[in-house]
Amino acid sequence: MSVKHAISRGLQLGRSVLQLGFLKPAARVAAKFRGERLRVGPPARTAQPQTFLPARYRYYRVSLSGLAAQLQSNGFRRLLGAGSPRNRAVFLAFGLGLGLIEQQLEDDRRSTATCQEIQALFRKKKFQSPLKSFTSGYKLEDYIIGRQIGKGCNAAVYEAAAPFAVPREGEKCSLVELRSGGGDKQEDAGPLRCRSVTSYPLAVKMMWNIGAGSSSEAILSSMCQELVPAGSQAVKEESAVVALNGRFGWAPRRVSAHPNVIRVYRAFTAEVPLLPGAQEEYPDVLPTRLNPMGMGNNRTLFLVMKNYPYTLRQYLKVSVPSGREGSMMVLQLLEGVDHLCKQGVAHRDLKSDNVLLEFDSGGCPRLVITDFGCCLAERDCGLQLPFTTRCVSRGGNACLMAPEVATAVPGPGMVIDYSKADAWAVGAISYEIFGQPNPFYSLGPDGLDSRRYQEKQLPPLPASTPTDTQLVVRLLLRRNPSKRPSARVAANMLHLSLWGGRALAYQDRASMKKMADWLLCQSAVVLLKGCGLGGSSVEAELQKCFLANLDLEDLRTAMGFLVFGREQQRAVLPN
């Protein structure tokens, strides 16, 4: 029973006690006052109106422990003296119950204080970029552009290098197989061979500008969503004023650095150059000076980011991660989504093509969320989007729209809540991570539509998938968002499953003292290993994220989901 529920039940019981034990005395007191008013002549003493509340119940205004002590004392006194058996039992039970509530509140206060101390400690540890900081790079001429490494529906991505931006010593910055000796041909590197290559540590994303105009102000205001993951020095000061302090729609939220969210180092406008493969790959979006049949404008927006070797989709085509690695990959996506939600940003276009991947020093995949062109990041809306007409965009990738978004009907006062929409998309992507086809991409009788599917139609995950991870995926794909866990709660479930141990996972969800003790031990282990000082391993980053986002109620909710799910599984398994 939660503390709020226990207090509510206690108040109801207390109200019943007052009505049963003091209704008749109150009536007699009221009759006495009425009789005094009917007397002729002035009364001997003027009575001031008082609220009827026995003295012993005024302790409730001070503390639950004081009220519990009074009720227990009166219960024993009535037990030895006069009073009906019913009143004696009620007084004693209510007093003991309030005493237990007070004890539980005291335990929760201590656990909350422990969580806050741990959270404050790990939030001081800033996420560090794998690249050395640089102060220039606001012009396209500052970069050496290499080959094209990606292309989407609104941009092309090229590998790049700059003399002022070099990787930190000992860090793996990129695993892209680069041509050696400056030749045009590149040898086939084979399936995912990890090599530390630093020739092109950066990636330049060139947006396609068809209708935004050629002025820097128009470009920045039209493509401002791409600046959501930009750093504090990504845009020059004179340009930042235009992009960040304009009218509604010009000023997106800016998210802070996170190991599972892409970071934009530089953003600037420049003339569109004729890059390798442009005439063959995207001739229609080129300006007329480069292609007479092109429809693009002369200038566009360029974004400079870290170079990642693969998208998640490319990696999963040739590799199936183990159960533990897959769980950690799902956990990284949930941590990234939770970070965005806490800062009022909904990505709205999560898919395996918009997740980039590299490997840490131990070979574990590290995932980052990228491509914020469809995100909801308005300062005046947060995660609530007014949906008054069909002209309002609900986001990209209709196949992976959460049910509450896909089924929304525009109308007066209609609002779409995106607070759990990205978490639902993570649940759908989890099928791809564990080697299964995404059921919401499939065509034919086995394919599912997010607008009308039933939860019992969801295909099972492979038997090699950890049980708790299967539970998390099922919960994330619930149709009703009120019954779906948030990204933070789902991430906590996986944290507890991965590092909490079997004994911790079977703890009673109301007993948080042992949980607080385990959190203190976990914090000490992370700090002793140096993970709290910016460790480079994926596991270290995840543990740091977990400890930096501790919340007592979220932990209790996660524990409740785990306990309930395991009890259900034990009930299904044969004896």
Q: Looking at the annotation, which residues are catalytic?
A: 349
Angle between helix 552-572 and 85-123 (nearest 10): 110
CA nearest neighbour of 209 among 349, 345, 303: 303
| Burial of 170 (C-beta count, 10 Å sphere; 0-12/13-18/19+) | exposed
Q: Where are the beta strands (DSSP E) in 261-340?
A: 264-271, 299-306, 310-311
Q: Which helix (H) or strand (E) holds 207?
A: strand 202-207
One-letter amino acid of 107? D
What is the DSSP code (8-state) at residue 361? T
Contact criterion met (CB below 8 Å) for 341 and 296 = no
CA nearest to 364, candidates 237, 272, 498: 498
Q: How many DSSP H helices and E strands does the chain contain?
A: 16, 10
- Calpha distance 455→470 (Å, rounded): 13
Neighbours of 356 (CB within 10 A): 24
**Residue 165 pairs with which residues in a beta bridge?**
162
The residues near 19 (Cβ < 8 Å, ≥ 6 apart) are none
List the structure tokens of 285.
Answer: 């979006």
Note the Cα 440 to chain centre separation in Å.
22
Q: What is the DSSP letter of 17?
A: H
Query: What percent helix, strand, coil does the chain show, rounded to 5?
Result: 45, 10, 40
Q: 366-383 burial, b for 16+ CB within 10 Å, e for fewer?
A: bbbbbbbbbbbbbeebbb
Per-residue DSSP letter, 55:
G
Alpha-carbon span 169 to 85, nearest angstrom: 79
Neighbour tally for 412: CB within 10 Å:
7
